[in-house]
Amino acid sequence: MQAFIDQLIQEGYFQAVSKEAVYATAMVLVAFAVLSFFVAPLAGVTSWLERRVWARMQSRVGPNRVGPQGILQWLADGIKNLLKEDLIPSAADKKLFSLAPYVVFVGFLCTFVVIPFGSQLIVADLNIGILYILAVTSLVVVGILMAGWSSNNKWSLLGGMRSAAQIVSYEIPAGLSALTIVFIAGTLSMQGIIKAQGWAPWDWFLFHNPFTFAAFFLFFTAALAEGNRTPFDIPEAESELVAGYVTEYSGMRFLFFFFAEWGNLYVIGAVATTLFMGGWQIPPVTDDPVLLGALQFMVFFLKAYFWVFVAMWVRATLPRVRVDQLMAMCWKYMVPLSFICMLGTIVWMLVFGPQGSQIFSVVLFVLAVGILGYFANRVLYQIRNARPELYFKPHI
Amino acid sequence: MSFGSYVSDIKDTVKSVFEGMAITFSHLVRRPMTIQYPDKIPVPIQETLPRRYRGILEVDMDICTGCLACERVCPITCITIGIDMNKETKQRQFTHFDIDVCKCMYCGLCAEACPTGSIRHSQEFEGASYDPAGLVRHFVTKPAALYKPKKGGETDAKLAEKVDTGLKYLDEFATPDGGAAAEEK
Amino acid sequence: MNVPAQSLSPGFHTEDMTISVGPQHPSTHGVLRFVVKTDGEVIGEAIPDVGYLHRSIEKIGEKVTWHGYVPYTDRADYLAAMFANQGFCMAAERLGGVEVTRRGEFCRVIACELNRIASHLISVGTFGQDIGAITPFVHALRERESINNLMEEICGARLTYNYIRIGGVGYDILPETCGRITEFLDHFEPIVDEYNRLLSYNKIFIKRLAGVAVVSREDALSYNLVGPNLRGAGIKWDIRRDIPYSVYPELEFDVPVGTGHVGTLGDSYDRYWVRIRELQQSCKILRQCLKMLPTGPAIAKVPRKFKPPAGECYVRVEAPRGDMGFYVVSDGSEYPYRVRIRTGSFAAMAIIDKLSKGIMVADLIALIGSLDVDAPEIDR
């Protein structure tokens, strides 16, 4: 984007003001545009989709009254929460209590700067892209601890502590899995990682070698844990701690936490797509830059949203793990496995060269398709064994 | 922890998660079972309820004999009946027949005790009201005479129909000498 | 998992937290309260505080007639209403010398086993939800809807049935209802397998429950646990088998007992697994009853003003949450003199304090769910 602004300055648009002022204004405007026109509706629609997906998985219909198919439900929820009384418990630490949601929000929003929506559609292609994302999402820990402590409520405190332990621990498998990819791509920059992949599935880093295949699942699991999603949603475990660290929050402050959570799902999906699934790469169908940009945006969005759907699906299916089991899983299972994946990838690259072996990639891809086929088989088995016509027969 | 149990832990987790996700996905593609009451239903729910459904009580005053059996048998005293003597006709008449619907336990003991089947459970269940007074149903608006069952069947056609409905309702209850399914099988 | 509470270094000064689980909590089953002292995540003691749902049902028994009290027994445990009905009616029959008709007995067993399936569905469903799995709960409720519809067809109500009356049952079961019950059973048995594949065999679920809150045989007996809690500890005791009543001697069914096949004998998973297998056994009993249903009247002749001679009796029925005991004293009048209901959940509350020493807060929730305590039963 910087190149675009420089081009505009050269063409003589912003003569009167200094270059820094132009940059600053452009940054603010772009941030505003991205946040209000992309992130806010995205988080809202994700919340609606999550409720619909859960409902269909539970044999019921989710919210479907507000707007066509209920798609404006999030607007109704947002307006309702805005109109609620702004309640700060009298014994709570007012400054920290008010500030905590914003810290969490900032922690998640800063990642949007480096998400590559298309080959030209990125706000800033930092050359430390993936490292920046891992660093900035850790701000969320500070926010959650602030929320848990300042609520002056033992349940919130328990939730905040659990969350801090969880997020800090799961940074490591996430970082190591990302590092595995960085070795292959040779760069930390997000666009660089995508450009090192191709558009065909066997050119993706996901199928590059068996170790990256495993690293993908480790990364996804660790990212779910960082996003406080089931099976790791202990900090907000509804049935155990009433609502964990958000117990004392109500109204818009409460929504901010969940806004951050749903938006974070998209960031997880986006990073997973960038690292493992080839990002916005599409087959070379057109040269027109606008059309190309639009197609790349669509492809990236669909790939990233698919993982959002998988995260919702996992939440509907699995029970939650206990805190000590969560820690055990991280330190005893995921960290050693991440190291093995990383070392395995390095050895693979030594043996087969930095591009890996095309044959192995195709074989892995076929294997993955086979697993999907087996999955479809199990789904059909479940459908055949349950008799849907008896779900409910009104007495007519 | 041995290497074998380590690997089998991972294998079991992956397998059970895979199976669970297949099940939830299979539900995603099946028809949901929700009945979207009250606006997106083909027929009103009241018509789909079974015969024996114990909804809000209703009384057909035309065939009520004023025997007070329902008032006596009600375990929560939600039925209040008032009978006094009409000075002109020297007949007994109802002054009030109130059922407090929010006290009612919907147990059906009153319906079973009624000799003519005039007090019945209807199929109605939407009895919400904006004030507590609306929850007391008054079945006598002006003083009405008691019903005297005629020996040898009812002659008046409309009343005969009502008596029939009442007796058919009473047929649903089990009795010591047979019942609906005694002759079957 | 038992972590000793003094696992921190002795010189490190920590404070215990006293937190109150409930009475408003998404997963205490009903209105219960526990005052929990914890050291971080590890619980020191959990003292139950009951009485939030007390409705004086036993006192009401002294004020209404014998027939009129039967709808009140529904509310003693509204998830297993049939069993309370049956207990009280059996006590009244024993005092009054009434013999229930054979068809009435079979109708009672059919209704009770359907209610057992419904109650266990709620139990395993809410247990899954406490552990975090939200989908199996709704699936269990969906199946319970079909049972509610069947009960609505039979007796007109979906939760508080007032179906079992003194002398038999209030409404007869018609042949088309029997056909629908068979259809439901054909549909339901594969659903239990699907439920198992979704939840019971899930490794995360098993790891949450294996070895957690183990109830030993001695503890189970000395704390007076009953029902699936007792059977989960390995003791094979079922009122339907050991103190038989109604037509259970003629029916063939197994009594599932915990085996400790994941983790230890008597842990939470055992109790849960006993309930799942009881679901399957109830299906078996229902099929037999539907085949053996005799003709005849469904209720015996009982006077409108029921006045049993003076005396007392104690009747036990196998409710889903254990054996429900009815101690009824009559003084010859048309009102009972004293009705005392003894329920299994009350005893289960007593053992929670002992079991919760050294476990984590998350395990406490699993423990309460696995014991299937139910607030209306505890407080009556």
Please indicate whether residue C25 or residue A157 has the higher confidence score (pLDDT): A157
Least confident of A177-191, C6-20, C219-233: C6-20
Give me the residues of C, 116-155, that contact B with CB < 8 A.
135, 139, 142, 145, 152-155
CB C70 within 8 A of CB C89: yes
What are the angstrom distances between the C-alpha of C285 and each of C146, C159, C249, C258, C315? 18, 22, 11, 20, 22
Q: What is the DSSP string of C165-192?
A: ETTEESBPPPHHHHHHHHHHHHHHHHHH
**CA-wise closest residue to C256 among C287, C285, C234, C283:** C234
Q: Which residues contact A41 (CB under 8 A, 6 or more apart)?
A: none
Question: Locate tokens 């495993």: which residue?
Answer: A214
pLDDT of residue A230: 67
Q: In the predicted model, what is the mean pLDDT of residues B66-80? A: 90
**CA-wise closest residue to C144 among C169, C111, C177, C121:** C121
pLDDT of residue C326: 93
**Residues of B in Cβ contact (< 8 Å) with C167:** 176
Pairing of strands B92-100, B79-85: antiparallel
What are the angstrom distances between the C-alpha of C15 and each of A145, A162, A241, C40? 19, 18, 20, 9
**Per-chain mean pLDDT for chain C:** 87
pLDDT tens digits along C99-152: 999 999 999 999 999 999 999 999 999 998 888 888 999 999 988 988 998 999
Q: Is B81 helix (H, G, I), strand (E, B) or coil?
A: strand
The four Cα atoms C94, C95, C99, C103 give a dihedral, to 10 degrees, of: -60
Residue A81 has pLDDT above 70, yes or no: yes
Give C9→chain B minimum CA distance, Å. 26
pLDDT of residue A239: 47
Residue B185 has pLDDT above 50, yes or no: no
Q: In the predicted model, what is the mean pLDDT of residues A245-271? A: 85
CB C43 within 8 A of CB A154: no
pLDDT tens digits along A303-319: 999 999 999 999 889 98
CB C232 within 8 A of CB C173: no
Query: Distance between CA atoms of C52 and B14, rounded to whole angstroms?
Result: 43
Query: Distance between CA atoms of C144 and C118, rounded to whole angstroms?
Result: 5
**CA-wise closest residue to A160 among A220, A228, A230:** A228
**Residues of C in Cβ contact (< 8 Å) with B108:** 156, 162, 170
pTM attached to this predicted model: 0.90
pLDDT of residue A243: 63
pLDDT tens digits along C184-220: 898 888 889 889 989 999 998 998 888 888 889 998 9
Query: Distance between CA atoms of A64 and C311, rounded to whole angstroms?
Result: 60
The token duo for B139 is: 């079945």
pLDDT tens digits along A220-250: 999 998 888 868 777 766 545 556 777 788 8
Residue A64 has pLDDT above 90, yes or no: no
Amino acid at A101: P
Here the ipTM equals 0.87
Q: Do C131 and A320 touch (CB under 8 A)?
A: yes
Give C10→chain A minimum CA distance, Å. 21
Residue A157 has pLDDT above 90, yes or no: no
Q: Do A317 and C133 touch (CB under 8 A)?
A: yes
Q: In the predicted model, what is the mean pLDDT of residues A270-289? A: 86
Q: What is the DSSP string of A93-162?
A: -HHHHHHHHHHHHHHHHGGGGG--SSSS--S---TTHHHHHHHHTTHHHHHHHHHHHHTT-HHHHHHHHH
Residue C374 pLDDT level (bands cut at 50, 70, 90): confident
Could you tell me the sign of the dihedral formed by the alpha carbons of C183, C185, C186, C187, in that order?
A: positive
Q: Subunits that touch chain C (at least 3 Cβ pairs < 8 angstroms)?
A: A, B
Give C70→chain B minimum CA distance, Å. 9
Query: Distance between CA atoms of C70 and A217, rounded to whole angstroms?
Result: 58
Q: What is the DSSP string of C46-63?
A: EEEE--TT---HHHHTTT
Q: What is the DSSP letter of C25?
A: -
Q: Subunits that touch chain B (at least 3 Cβ pairs < 8 angstroms)?
A: A, C
CB C93 within 8 A of CB C328: no
CB C64 within 8 A of CB C72: yes
Residue A12 has pLDDT above 80, yes or no: no
Residue C333 has pLDDT above 80, yes or no: yes
CB C54 within 8 A of CB C75: no
Q: What is the DSSP letter of B173?
A: B
For residue C73, how many other CB atoms are within 10 A of its CB?
A: 28
pLDDT of residue A87: 81
The token duo for C236 is: 């094979």
Query: Distance between CA atoms of C343 and B61, rounded to whole angstroms?
Result: 44
